[in-house]
Amino acid sequence: MLKVKLFDVDFGEAHVILNYDDAREFGLRPQDRIKIANHHGSTVAIVNITDAFVKKGVIGVFSKIRKELGLKNSDTVNIELVGIPLTVELIKKKLKGDKLSADEINSIIADIVNKNLSSIDLAAFVSALYVRGMDMDEVEALTRSMVAAGQTVKFPGEVYDKHSLGGVPGDKTTLLVVPIVASYGLTIPKTSSRAITDPAGTADRMEVFAPVVHNLKSLSKIVNKAGACIVWGGAVDLSPADDMLIHVEYPLSLDPRPLLLASVMSKKIAVGSKFIVIDIPMGEGTKVLDADFAHKLAADFIELGRRLGVEVECAITYGAQPVGNAMGPVLEAIEALKILEGAREPNSVIEKSCAIAGILLEQAGVAKKGQGYEKAATALHNKSAFKKFKEIVKAQGGNSNVTIKQLEKRVGKFKHVVKSEREGYVTQIKNREITMVARAAGAPHDKGAGILLHSKGGDETDRGKPLFTIYAEKKEKLEHAKSLLAKLKPVVVEGMLLEEIPPSSLISRR
């Protein structure tokens, strides 16, 4: 038995600290795995050894394990050495390029969920899938295994859903698509992510209106009441293995296609979706740079859906610049609410929302083929989508009567207007760079931070005309965002004459 000493540090994974003497007695070395247990349960942790931070008979525990086992200072725990899991050999098998059977994939996913694999093991698995890939048999097995390892929910009738591969800042279309579809009596339980690299994720945007952290029981009540929801998927535990792998993918900047396919589809299958639209944004600064890759990815999603008994349709959308003008949770919430209340711009938000919603309405038979867009637009214009949105907000515990003016008071009070330095045309808005500036200003953590564009690609501008405004809740974050502008140049303005070359310059080159 060892006495617990808590350290208020979150490594993002399970680590413990042992004194050198205890480590010697247990026969442990740095990076060994141990099982740590108390009356609440057990978990696997990675060993670190010290002679300074903890005394003999004491085990240092960090935030992750503290939360899992409900530990307090001076609690006692048991530890025992855990050998290297057999699934590590299966990961090596995939690294060599061999095909994994369904049983082997099930073993890997089970060990991930049971926390028997370290972050190093998970990184090796992600790397193996990135380098070696998987055929569709393996991807199907991976998807089914992820579903089986998490919670599932069933709703009466057919269930509809949509997913965007992301990568485009300002894409608040889910806030419109879900109420449009639900306004026609269709069930659409949308679980969404928070932003990892963007100025806002769908969950961050929706959280401006209502709580998004709901368990599966709460989610079911919301959907049964309103016919739809927009909640944070991380609280529902639909695909825990996927959530753990995402934590490894992010620092590695890897997004293996097999995991992308299985990640999206496992969470849709878990909520019983039978009709799904996959939004594939394409363009510079997105995950999909060209039409060839977009079509291959679409074919994979459609085939995987067929194998899983789900009708999947893909929409390749324009993603070379932000969707709409607003980036950042509150700013995007304002833009979405204005459209729901009847505004006819920004057109890019309305057009994309109606296009995606229209495909779902056609899948449902609510609209004939080719007439879905018009049907979706009708729901916006006659305010039935707005009425449904208010129902969803109320069902999730939010203020369904919130006004634009109330939201505007939540926008960051510190701002900086960036003006054009020349006359010409906006030739490019760089997705990655504009995102970096918005995040430097505090988005999405600071809900009122972000960027509001005043010009989009192709717009004519004059010297001194505002291009965009940066908003921040804290002055120092605004200054940080401003400091990035010269280096990143997120908005490019050029004239029609790009360069003048006089005859003398040609003579001098000879």
Please, what is the Cα angle at 459 between 454 and 463, to 5 degrees?
75
With CA atoms as reference, report the closest residue to 275 among 314, 239, 249: 314
Residue 190 to residue 132: CA distance in whole angstroms: 32
Residue 167 to residue 253: CA distance in whole angstroms: 13
Residue 1 to residue 15: CA distance in whole angstroms: 18
| Beta bridge partner(s), residue 280 | 316
My answer on whether omega of the bond before 240 falls inside 30° of 0, hence cis, is no
95 touches 128 (CB < 8 A) = yes
Residue 174 to residue 198: CA distance in whole angstroms: 15
My answer on whether omega of the bond before 490 falls inside 30° of 0, hence cis, is no
Residue 151 to residue 501: CA distance in whole angstroms: 66
82 touches 35 (CB < 8 A) = yes
Q: Give the SS3 label for residue 388.
A: helix
Residue 161 to residue 368: CA distance in whole angstroms: 19
With CA atoms as reference, report the closest residue to 129 among 105, 164, 163, 165: 105
Say whether 255 is catalytic: yes
Half-sphere exposure of 344 (CA within 13 A, CB side): 3
177 touches 351 (CB < 8 A) = no
With CA atoms as reference, report the closest residue to 277 among 163, 177, 365, 361: 163
Residue 217 to residue 196: CA distance in whole angstroms: 26
**217, containing H or E segment:** helix 216-226
- Going by the DSSP 8-state scheme, the letter that residue 187 receives in this structure is B
Q: Which amino acid is at 381?
A: H
User: What does the block give as tokens for 113?
Assistant: 């969920």
> Could you give the maximum distance between any two Cα atoms of the chain, in Å?
87
How many Cβ atoms are within 10 Å of 82's Cβ, its own excluded?
Answer: 14
| Beta bridge partner(s), residue 161 | 276
440 touches 480 (CB < 8 A) = yes
List, edge to edge, every strand of the sheet that includes 311-318. Answer: 160-164, 275-282, 311-318
Kindly name the residue from 255, 300, 446, 459 that is annotated as catalytic. 255
- Relative to beta strand 160-164, strand 275-282 is parallel
Residues contacting 67, CB < 8 A, separation 6+: none
Residues taking part in catalysis: 255
